[in-house]
Amino acid sequence: MASKIIRQHITVNSNPDEIYDVFLDSKKHTSFTGSKAKMSKRIGGTFTVFDGYASGRNLELISNEYIRQSWRASNWPENCVSEISLELEKTHLGTRITFIHKNIPDKFYDSIKDGWKNYYWTPLKLYFKK
């Protein structure tokens, strides 16, 4: 099955430690997305987000700097697993997130690309608006 990659850059008015925490803390993740999330803060730990729509496992965690996870949507074919990474860099405007999502099935590419913007980056910016 053919797959695609999403690359997005987002700057959020917050510190890298706060961004890192909101992605790995169940209560904070639920709060900023508005949908139930169950997160793990350890390598190998599993997660579910958006009321079970997506799930995965923490593959690599570098505190306040980097998150890499396996990721799959519940409506994807059973054998399709993708990977996301978030690199966090402190800037004078807050934190620049370099986001990469690999191995997205072609059929789901457009909806997933728009979904990150609509369901993650916009709410994340609002969550940290000061």
Sign of CA dihedral 114, 58, 26, 93: negative
What is the per-residue DSSP string for 29-65?
A: HHHHHSS--B---STT-EEEETTTTEEEEEEEEETTT
pTM for the model? 0.95
Task: At 101, give phi and psi (nearest 5°).
Answer: -125, 115
For residue 33, pLDDT over 80 is answered with yes
CB 25 within 8 A of CB 39: yes
Domain CATH for 60: 3.30.530.20
What integer pLDDT is reported at residue 3 of this predicted model?
Answer: 80
Say whether pLDDT at 130 is over 90. Answer: no
Give the residue numbers spanning the domain of 114. Answer: 3-127
CA dist 75 and 73 (Å) reads 5
Q: What is the pLDDT of residues 35-69, one digit of tens each?
A: 999 999 999 999 999 999 999 999 999 999 999 99
Domain count, the chain: 1
pLDDT tens digit string along 6-28? 999 999 999 999 999 999 999 99
